[in-house]
Amino acid sequence: ASVCTRLGATFAFVALSSAVVRVVCVCASRMSIGVISRPLLTTYVLASSGRLLVRNLRLCSSSMSAADAFKKHGVVPDVVPNGPSKLVKAVFDSGVEVDCGNVLTPTQVKNPPKVSWDAEPGVLYTLIMTDPDAPSRKTPTFREWHHWLITNIPGNDISKGEVLSEYISSAPPPNTGLHRYVYLVYKQSGKISDPEHGHLPGNSGEKRGGFKAAAFAKKHNLGDPVAGNFYQAEYDDYVPEVYKKLG
């Protein structure tokens, strides 16, 4: 119950098995007598290591904007000086969705997600996915290590954009804790070109580290991000597969 209280939720149910302890909390702000409208559920899994992991927590709501979540988790100022007012929607083929700092696994996010946002007709956008916590949040020597970069996206159809950096899935090193994986969308005033950056393939980690989303935005006069989102992930058994792919 104390865990729920810290997250502003009320204790609702406990189920115990031989492997895990599950605690389900319901946010009080979304609960009415006898009826829960669009249940806002959190499952806590007590791993064998004794660490409490948060799964499937709906964090973005009317009471927690994207900008608020960016500040709460330090994405502002670690990545951008100002948070976005709108959300990027990113859904993976594993069925999970990015949601303002929820915890996902590298296994769940191994393939590129379907990404969308509220786009204006006839406008071009830039999409960035970046990790400010490489190799760890305590010692972010490579801040940022960017995973995806697409420019000149018409509306929110990323398939028609110019891919500067192909998608590389989350692959945090072992024993480095949770990394933040941040999605940012910038509105362009016109078509942009960046031959200096060039095209980075998805099977190499070269030129990925030391990237700065804010610096890229400044270079191309993109202003602040108009939409964003992020999740957190730490090492799991899929990460070595990513390292093999990167050589």
For the stretch 122-178, pLDDT in tens is 999 999 999 999 999 999 999 999 999 999 999 999 999 999 999 999 999 999 999
Instruction: Indicate whether 65 and 37 sit together in one domain.
Output: no
Query: What are the CA-CA distances from residue 151 to residues 13, 68, 142, 163 (Å)?
Result: 46, 26, 23, 6
pTM, whole model, 2 decimals?
Answer: 0.79
Q: Output the pLDDT for position 58.
A: 58
Pair 74, 111 in one domain: yes
For the chain, what is the domain count? 2
Last residue of a domain, one of 58, 86, 101: 58
Same-domain pairing of 160 and 135: yes
Residue with tokens 């670690």: 78
Residue-range definition of the domain harbouring residue 27: 1-58
What does the alpha-carbon distance between residue 23 and residue 1 come to, in Å, rounded to a whole number? Answer: 8
107 with 171, same domain? Answer: yes
247 band by pLDDT with thresholds 50, 70 and 90: confident
Closest among 192, 188, 190, 198 to 223, alpha carbons compared: 188
151 and 231 in a single domain? The answer is yes
Do 50 and 135 lie in one domain? The reply is no
